[in-house]
Structures are given as C-alpha cells and as structure tokens.
A = this chain, B = another copy of it.
Amino acid sequence: MTKELSRRNLLGRAGLALGGAVTLGVLQACGSDSDPAPQQTPQEPAGPQVADFPYEQHLPAGYRLDPTPIREAAYQGYYAGGCCHGAYSALLGHLAQTAGAPFTLLPLDFGKFGGGGIASYGSICGALLGSVLVTNMVVADATARAAIMTDLMRWYEGASFPQYTPQAVNAGETGLVKDFSAGNLVNLQQVPGAHLCHASVSGWCAANGVSATGADKKARCARLTADVAGKVAELLNTYLETKAFTAAPIDDASKTCLVCHPGTSTTEPVASGMTCTTCHSDKATGHPM
C-alpha cells in the first residue's frame, strides 16, 4: 500500500499530467516537423519526496550535522513551542537548510504536541521525543536506529542538566529567580535519573526550590532542549561516519535487577531498557527480602 499511495507515484502521475499534456500541446500547436524541438519536460519528480522514507538515502555523501547551530535553534525554539518543538524544529530545520528535500517538504511545527511529555502529561521528555522523531527520519538501519534512541535516552537519564548557555538570551526569558549564567549553571544542575518529563522536571524543580510552572523551569527546559538536540546530532554524526551504532549498556544496578527479572521470566518479567532504581527506589535496599 505504501508504494501505491506513495508521493513519488502521485507526483509521477502529476508530472505526466503536467509535462505530458503540455508537451502534447506544444506538438499540436506547432504542427510542423521543421519547428524547433520543444523543450524537454522533466520525466522524474522534482527530487526526494516525503514518502521516500527513511531519508538517509537522500543525504549528500559525507553529510554531517552541525550541533552548534542546532543547540541554539533548539533553545530559541523552546520559547516558540515547547521542548519537543524546540528539538524537532531545530533538527529538521537544520536538515532542511543543509540537506534539502525531503526535509524541506515537512512541517516544522509538527513537534508542538510533545511539550511537557506529550500534552503536558509528563510522559517521555519532549526534547527526547522530538529528537527521536528526527532520528527516525534519518537512520535507515533499524538496529542502529534503535541503538541511537536507546543511547540517547540512557545518556539523558544520567546526565546533569541544564548544560547549555545560549548565544542570545531569548526575549521571553524574564522573571528568573535563579542565576542561569554560565558560571553558575553547575549549581543548578541535576541528574534526572529517568527519561520521563514528570520525573525530570519535578525532581529538578524540587531540588532548586522552584515551581514546575514558572520562569526558572522554562529556562532550565529550554537549555535542556538544546543539550538533547545537540547530543542527538552528535550521535547521528557518529552513525553517519561509521554506518553503525552501539548503545551504552544499562547501568550496573539495573543489570543486577535483570538477572532475576529478565524479559524471558514467566513469573516477574521486565520489559524495559531504562534505569530501574529511579522509580523502584524501594528495591534498592533490602531486596530481595
């Protein structure tokens, strides 16, 4: 069905309708063999289409993303539409500007739904989700694609956020209680321990004594959005360089959990690639009983 409904096919038909009809019009209108030959009409659709997925096949040879402008665009994009939009629009916009179609054919606003862990539900961090969606567009190898996503989410769980200092502070960033200057950023940093917006935001705000609805939370998440978008750009570059990717292993404590709770267990199987002990903190000591 993909093939039948594909953009290439449809544009192919449109091309026939356009080029074919017009070429016929030329021949009929001129009606003479001695007239100059009509200009060639293109037979192929104009470049890569959205349905020609995934899009690694359309990247120029040796293509690499530039994490520096992506980070700044992601930070600024946060204030235009939230964390998922910041990461998604920065990465997609960069790909559109530097690699062209089909990235140019996609809506830059697609990621606005994902803010606050999807519609503020506290699910997967929107900066991660936006990054995952663009990773999915690019990477053709399914094994490497999954490894990049896993590695990104594991890195997020263990990294200290926020790290980024913007080139230009966004005009919407007013009323801060905390000092987000480069020199003081380390004093605000927290390790989320989970890839969910809920745990990431709630934990950071509690540790810093600020609300989850105020300006400081937004300043933190805008910088985190830059951090995540920049990180995935680096991971994608590693993949594009080597055409392979291996995710970091799960942390040692969680590895211990999986000894007794592998996915293959028929009593207490665990289907997860994430850190166990953040949520199952009651199992960190005195378990098994």
Contact = CB atoms under 8 A, between A and B. Distances in A.
Most buried by B among A19, A46, A49: A46
Contacts of A70: none
Interface stretch (A36-44, A159-167, A180-188, A232-240): A36-44
Interface string A189-227: 000000111100110011001111110010000000000
Given A22-B22, A123-B274, A132 B118 contact: yes
A107 interface: yes
A282 B279 contact: no
Interface in A77-132: 93, 96, 101, 104-110, 112-113, 116-124, 132
B22 A198 contact: no
A269 B206 contact: yes
Contact of A153 (B5, B106, B121, B264): B121
A35 interface: yes
A107 B53 contact: yes
Stoichiometry, copies per complex: 2
Given A118-B124, A270-B212, A14 B149 contact: no
A19 B113 CA distance: 38
A269 B29 contact: no
Contact of A50 (B46, B50, B196): B50
A272 B121 contact: yes
A49 to B, nearest CB: 7
Contacts of A123: 123-124, 153, 195-196, 274
Contacts of A205: 266, 269, 271
B18 A42 contact: yes
Given A50-B105, A145-B119, A18 B41 contact: yes
A107 B41 CA distance: 27
A266 B211 contact: yes
Interface in A34-64: 35-39, 41-42, 46, 49-53
A244 to B, nearest CB: 16
Given A105-B50, A213-B264, A150 B272 contact: no
Given A25-B39, A96-B5, A264-B213, A202 B121 contact: no
Given A118-B124, A198-B270, A205-B271, A10 B104 contact: yes
Name the 6 nearest CB pairs between A and B, nearest first. Answer: A122-B272, A53-B107, A25-B39, A119-B146, A212-B269, A212-B271
24 contacts: A7-B50, A11-B46, A18-B41, A19-B22, A22-B22, A22-B41, A26-B38, A29-B38, A50-B105, A53-B110, A112-B142, A113-B132, A113-B135, A120-B271, A121-B150, A121-B153, A121-B274, A124-B124, A198-B272, A201-B271, A209-B267, A210-B266, A211-B264, A214-B264
